[in-house]
């Protein structure tokens, strides 16, 4: 039996493709292949490279590595730090958001000094969005900063009941705040840590069963699911007493969500909202924006795709999933360069069978065909 349905291409606003600087973990080609295999046609890359993306030159150098090698559309975020503030005006048309790391995680981008935070929040253009890595008690600081500086705040990888409550209260008070949750915080708990060892280590850490249940009960507060695709090699995970934080997620997030639909924990409509409609709305991604951006794209970087500059819309870009297909997630079939997933061996119902990007079939359920992705600007 099969039940094929057509969905809009998914949008993931939070991925780490590791290029440049950590291409043993992932690169633009392998990471964007993983995205396509997972049903994503648009992804936004984070700035926490070993040399963080905190100035115009590092941003331009990173962007220049992508054309011709990407299988889905790719946008970029900028890193918030004291040294990046002078570049805000220069980069605002090239990036979708500013990412501020307020807790320790992968990479050197950590801002703990209150004066630096004030400077960053005061200077980022108000029309754009600030994304924060702000766990637990730090979230209150982020909300306070955004309020006082009149900024739109997007809370990354929310994982605790207390964070849900804070976001709900801020929303009810009318604050422009949005939040994402990652699949590993929906489908794993800290009880899985024994089994997963270093492959279950990420920031924020896996939550208690109670927190996970609370997130499911309060899913209405969440705006989107983001993969926080954060690959590290098996060696890196195993060799160190302090394994690096992060797990890959691009290829498993949609199958897990579709499985939740099969289990009646979610509706398919809500999955579409969480993975496509809302991320597009929150980050201002529309066909109109794509088109206006493409004029500038050419001026910035020369020509891009063999197809020329063209926007995604629901007619020319879509995916097909089989809601009935049962299969087992396996490390050996992944496109991500790291070659593992914390969901190895998990049986799910629901599978990506086809991805079409601007009328070009790029995935047939078994093979990824052509790199027709484009760099996209707001
Ligand atoms: C991310 C990474 O490895 O880049 N790691 C993680 O555990 N989530 C960084 C981040 O998103 O905090
Ligand atoms: Zn510290
Ligand atoms: Zn983070
Ligand atoms: Zn991340």
**Residue 300 scores a pLDDT above 80:** no
Any atom of ligand 1 within 6 Å of the Cβ of 106: yes
Please report the pLDDT score of residue 288 as a whole number. Answer: 53
Neighbour order of strands in the sheet with 129-133: 10-15, 40-45, 73-79, 97-101, 129-133, 152-155, 177-181, 224-225
Predicted confidence at residue 167, as pLDDT, reads: 98
* CA 354–ligand 2 middle distance (angstroms): 44
For the CA of 107, the nearest atom of ligand 1:
4
% the chain with pLDDT above 90: 91
∠ CA 304-317-326, nearest 5°, is 125
pLDDT over 90 (residue 9):
yes
- Residues 88-106 have a mean pLDDT of 96
The response to whether residue 133 sits with its C-beta less than 6 Å from ligand 1 reads yes
pLDDT of residue 1: 83
Query: In the structure, what pLDDT confidence band is assigned to residue 307 with cuts at 50, 70 and 90?
Result: very low
81 lines ligand 1 (CB under 6 A): no
Between the CA of 52 and the centroid of ligand 1 the distance, in Å, is 13
Q: What is the pLDDT of residues 98-120, one digit of tens each?
A: 999 999 999 999 999 999 999 99
Q: Please state, as a whole number, how many other Cβ atoms lie within 10 Å of the Cβ of residue 250.
A: 32
Average pLDDT over residues 219-227: 98
* pLDDT higher than 70, residue 173: yes
Q: What angle do CA 170, 176, 178 make, to 5 degrees?
A: 80
Scan for tokens 């995916």, then name that residue: 319
What structural domains does the chain harbor? 4-363 (3.20.20.140)
Distance CA 125, CA 151 (A): 8
Q: How confident is the model at residue 309 (pLDDT cuts 50, 70, 90)?
A: low
Question: What are 72's two structure tokens?
Answer: 């889905």
Q: Which ligand is nearest to the CA of 135?
A: 3
Q: Is the pLDDT of residue 373 over 60?
A: yes
Cβ neighbours of residue 218 closer than 8 Å, sequence gap 6 or more? 161, 164, 168
pTM: 0.95
Which pLDDT does position 257 carry in this prediction?
A: 99
pLDDT level of residue 72 (50, 70, 90 thresholds):
very high
**Local confidence band at 294 (pLDDT 50, 70, 90 cut-offs):** very low
Q: What is the predicted pLDDT for the residue at 318? A: 97
Q: Is 18 in the pocket of ligand 1 (CB under 6 A)?
A: no
The predicted pLDDT at position 363 comes to 98
Give the atom of ligand 1 at the shortest distance from the alpha carbon of 46: 4
Query: pLDDT category, 259, cuts 50, 70, 90?
Result: very high
What residue has token string 């590791």?
A: 18
The predicted model gives 118-138 an average pLDDT of 97
| Nearest ligand to the C-alpha atom of residue 15 | 4
Ligand 1 center to residue 230 CA distance, Å? Answer: 6
Paired residues of 181 in beta bridges: 225
The H-or-E segment that residue 29 falls in is helix 28-37
- Which atom of ligand 1 is found nearest the CA of 245? 7
Tell me which residue has its CA closest to atom 6 in ligand 1.
246
The region of weakest confidence among 1-5, 177-181, 343-347 is 1-5
**Residues 293-311: what's their mean pLDDT?**
45
| pLDDT tops 80 at residue 348 | yes
**Is the CB of residue 16 below 6 angstroms from any atom belonging to ligand 1?**
yes
- Distance, CA 315 to ligand 4 centroid (Å)? 31
């Amino acid at each position: 039996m099969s039940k094929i349905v057509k969905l809009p291409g998914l949008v993931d606003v939070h991925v780490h493709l590791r290029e440049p600087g950590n291409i043993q973990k992932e690169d633009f080609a392998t990471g964007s292949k993983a995205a396509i295999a997972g049903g994503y046609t648009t992804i936004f890359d984070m700035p926490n490279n070993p040399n963080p993306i905190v100035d115009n030159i590092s941003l331009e150098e990173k962007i220049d590595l992508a054309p011709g090698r990407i299988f889905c559309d790719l946008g970029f975020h900028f890193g918030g730090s004291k040294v990046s503030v002078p570049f805000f005006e220069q980069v605002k048309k090239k990036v979708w958001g500013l990412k501020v790391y307020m807790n320790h995680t992968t990479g050197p981008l950590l801002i703990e000094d209150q004066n630096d935070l004030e400077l960053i929040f005061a200077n980022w253009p108000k029309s754009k969005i600030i994304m924060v890595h702000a766990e637990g008690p730090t979230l209150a600081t982020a909300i306070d900063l955004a309020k006082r500086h009149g900024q739109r705040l997007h809370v990354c990888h929310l994982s605790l009941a207390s964070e849900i409550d804070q976001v709900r209260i801020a929303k009810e008070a009318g604050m422009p705040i949005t939040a994402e949750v990652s699949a590993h915080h929906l489908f794993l708990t800290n009880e899985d840590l024994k089994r997963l060892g270093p492959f279950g280590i990420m920031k924020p850490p896996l939550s208690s069963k109670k927190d996970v249940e609370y997130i499911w009960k309060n899913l209405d507060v969440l705006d989107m699911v983001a993969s926080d695709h954060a690959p590290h090699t098996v060696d890196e995970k195993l060799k160190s007493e302090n394994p690096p934080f992060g797990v890959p997620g691009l290829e498993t997030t949609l199958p897990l969500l579709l499985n939740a639909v099969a289990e009646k924990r979610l509706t398919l409509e809500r999955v579409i909202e969480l993975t496509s409609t809302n991320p597009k709305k929150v980050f201002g991604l529309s066909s109109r924006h794509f088109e206006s951006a493409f004029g500038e794209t050419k001026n910035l970087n020369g020509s891009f795709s063999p197809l020329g500059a063209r926007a995604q819309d629901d007619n020319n870009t879509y995916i097909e999933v089989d809601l009935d297909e049962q299969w087992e997630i396996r490390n050996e079939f992944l496109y991500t360069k790291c070659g593992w997933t914390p969901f190895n061996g998990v049986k799910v119902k629901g599978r990506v069978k086809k991805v079409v990007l601007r009328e070009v079939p790029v995935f047939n359920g078994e093979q990824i065909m052509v790199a027709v992705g484009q760099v996209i600007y707001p």
